[in-house]
Amino acid sequence: MSISLAILWHMHQPYYYDPLKNKFMLPWVRLHATKDYLDMVLILKKFPEVKVNFNIVPSLLKQLKEYENGATDIFFEYSIIPAEELNEEQRAFLVENFFLANWKTMIEPFPRYKELLEKRGKIYGDPVKLSKKFTAQELRDLQVLFNLVWMDPLHREADPFLRELQKKGTNFTEEEKRLLLEKHIEIVRQIIPAYKQMALSGQIEISVSPFYHPILPLIYDNYKAKECMPEAKLPQYQFKAPEDAEIQIKKAITYFEGIFGFKPQGMWPSEGSVSEEVIKLIADAGIKWIATDEEILSKSINENLRSADKLINPSILYQPYEFAGVKIFFRDRILSDLIGFVYSNWQPQRAVEDFLKRICDSTTSGIVSVILDGENAWEYYDNDGKDFLEKLYANLQKSKDIRTVTFSEYLQEKSYSNPLKRVFPGSWIGANFSIWIGHEEDNLSWDYLYKVRQDLVSHQKENPHKDLSQAWEELYISEGSDWNWWYGDEHYTETKDVFDEIYRHHLMSVYLNIGKEPPSFLHVPISKKMKEIKPEVEPKGFIYPKIEGKITGYFEWLEAGKFNLQRMGGSMHKTESLFSYLYYGFNRQSLFLRLDPKFPIKDFKDLKIQIQIIEPVKVKIVFDLLDKGLAQVFIQENETWIRKDEIETVALDEIFEIELPFDVIEIKQEENICLFIEVFKNSYLIDRAPIVGFIKIHIPPPDFDKLIWL
């Protein structure tokens, strides 16, 4: 008996259109279209006996159709402008945003692109000032290379024009750039027909998600979060809209059928988020199967499925279940996450062998469900994952122990499914909804949504015969999960403020579509530009280090707190810091800070380290290597920096150390200090600790040592 393996690649993008600016503000639909969506089926097509499942979110399909019909995004528009005609704002935009790609796998393999990144700097200051250093040819090369590296290697190998463009590598022309961007739209137009053809052939099954990718249990009732997050602080207002949840499901099915010509049999609920109420709505809509995470199953049957990473009884996980007439598959989290986060650092053959061995070692029957994002992992793989996927499919095609199936195919063969008495509410992340609710920013977002929906419902009641469909559409867009994905502390992206603005603009557009002025609160950003970064280690006692720029004793900084600067990075790439750790500590008189460089920096010329305290007072401490080993202290008064004092207890050698007396920086005991550190070279910002936000340090009372001991 062979093992059945169902792989599902989940394809999703939020709706990036800004209704107030009348354009797509982020390019990720187009760029993942050229890098991931088409090649995923083209690679699979080489292995006709391998069957795979794809889940495609309607908000992604809708945007693909809009690109087919002539829509563009601001990145596309700034790409097409002749380099000599770029204005100051556009040049700065390129320098700031056209390196949004994985540096290791997408930029460094292109010598010219790597050269331009080094010219800008991986950590950089004012993009307007920086952009003046770039020639028109360099900016044109940047325009081309950004759009070229987001073309999948499969396309760059198969297309003669793209192959020659990659070989050329630099000094591109405006005509070459125009042809490259035309290739982008050409590829976009091939995606939907390719998936439809593969689905009709039976090699793939396409499933769907709710239209704008909402967290349906929270749209149904956001206080549902209390069941899986009993300690969470929830929004002020209870958002409860079962009818919206139903509409998001039915709109998705209708739109899907209009695109592909057949109804979907399956649904991947957004982020695998389920509740009993939502599953009943899905059943009423005619969906036959859904899938979510193994931890939902574990909590639903109140049984541990694993001991460490090993399944205790594989047969419990590797079978379909049923609730309210809907079949439910639960993904193997370990196998899914290995592809998503681990195998990118392995040689493809070793990764594939490990993956298949784990399956064969864990079971001899049943269905193994492997479900993960189908686009985001590949930029971390060499060659965009092409080598790994080809080896995986080739091994699966010849395997005698494992056969690949679609979910619907498996259900036709195996009519029995294990009934579930209850379904624990949660998502595929921690079996809860903490990513989308509970944080101050998340809760404020829900309260914005609640107020806008209440106003729309009231207006609808007052105008029962008025067509408010466009206003409701804007509200449904606002119910998408992606806005709250970026609110809170869990995730960071360089474009977080753009997400915040698009979200609020959709809410504003609700009012504009009913002829009312948007309320003033919608003009207030939800996203806090500065966020607190938590330390890896908290201080455990007073410290008394000798400030000389060297580690002179093990115990000097033993009781200090510590931040791991290597773990702080962006969403698109891992930001590289000059420093590995930031230590901080105090005694009754002073605050101490220490930076550990990754490599010697004491011989850097024109280096300046600036410590900026933003609360409770605005203080700037500037250490300039040219300033005879002293640090200057400035206090801000009426938006002007006034020099106050200087500090002698500062040193840079193997490490950077500084003592900041509380009386000099005007800090009192038991106050909170919020600060960050910046490093400048030749007046340009080259590093920051932390990379985004600030660190908060609580200055303890005089008896801190005693309190810690007790």
Q: Convert the pLDDT of each residue in 571-610 to its tens digit.
A: 333 345 678 888 998 888 899 999 888 777 766 667 888 9
Is 541 in contact with 559 (CB distance < 8 Å)? yes
Q: Which residue has the tokens 């038991």?
A: 670
Q: Is 31 exposed, middle or buried (0-12, 13-18, 19+ CB in 10 A)?
A: buried
- Of the candidates 152, 98, 154, 163, the one whose C-alpha atom is nearest the C-alpha of residue 124 is 98
**For the chain, which ranges sit under pLDDT 70?**
1, 489-490, 492, 529-532, 566-577, 602-605, 628, 638-640, 682-685, 691-693, 704-710
At 266, list the tokens: 């399956």
At 237, list the tokens: 């207002």
Task: State which amino acid sits at residue 464.
Answer: P
CB atoms within 10 A of CB 293: 24
Is 372 in contact with 169 (CB distance < 8 Å)? no
CB atoms within 10 A of CB 132: 11
- Rounded CA-CA distance 81/189 in Å is 23
CB atoms within 10 A of CB 352: 22
Q: Residue 527's pLDDT is what?
A: 82
SS3 271: helix
**Radius of gyration of the chain measured on its C-alpha atoms:** 28
CA-to-CA dists, residue 306 to 299, 355, 701, angstroms: 12, 18, 46
Q: Residue 122's pLDDT is what?
A: 80
- Rounded CA-CA distance 139/340 in Å is 34
Counting every residue, how long is the chain?
710
- Rounded CA-CA distance 481/491 in Å is 13
Is 234 in contact with 437 (CB distance < 8 Å)? yes
| Contacts of residue 243, Cβ cutoff 8 Å, sequence gap at least 6 | none
**What single DSSP character describes residue 339?**
I
- Rounded CA-CA distance 612/315 in Å is 57
- Of the candidates 321, 278, 270, 279, the one whose C-alpha atom is nearest the C-alpha of residue 298 is 321
Q: Residue 571's pLDDT is what?
A: 32
- Rounded CA-CA distance 702/430 in Å is 41
pTM metric for this prediction? 0.78
At 323, list the tokens: 């609730």
At 133, list the tokens: 């250093």
Strands (E) located in 507-630: 532-533, 561-564, 579-586, 590-597, 607-615, 619-624
At 112, list the tokens: 């010219």
Q: Residue 349's pLDDT is what?
A: 97
Find the DSSP H helices in 363-495. Answer: 386-398, 407-413, 440-462, 469-478, 482-486
**What single DSSP character describes residue 385?**
G
At 521, list the tokens: 């609160």
- Rounded CA-CA distance 294/241 in Å is 28
Helices 174-201 and 160-168, axial angle in degrees (round to 10): 140
At 90, list the tokens: 């556009």
Q: Is the peptide bond before 320 cis (omega within 30 degrees of 0)?
A: no
Find the DSSP H helices in 414-545. Answer: 440-462, 469-478, 482-486, 496-513
- Rounded CA-CA distance 586/560 in Å is 8
**Fold for the domain defined by 3-15+207-419:** 7-stranded beta/alpha barrel (3.20.110)
At 503, list the tokens: 């979200």
Q: Residue 574's pLDDT is what?
A: 36
**What single DSSP character describes residue 529?**
S
Backbone φ and ψ for 284, nearest 5 degrees, come out as -60, -25
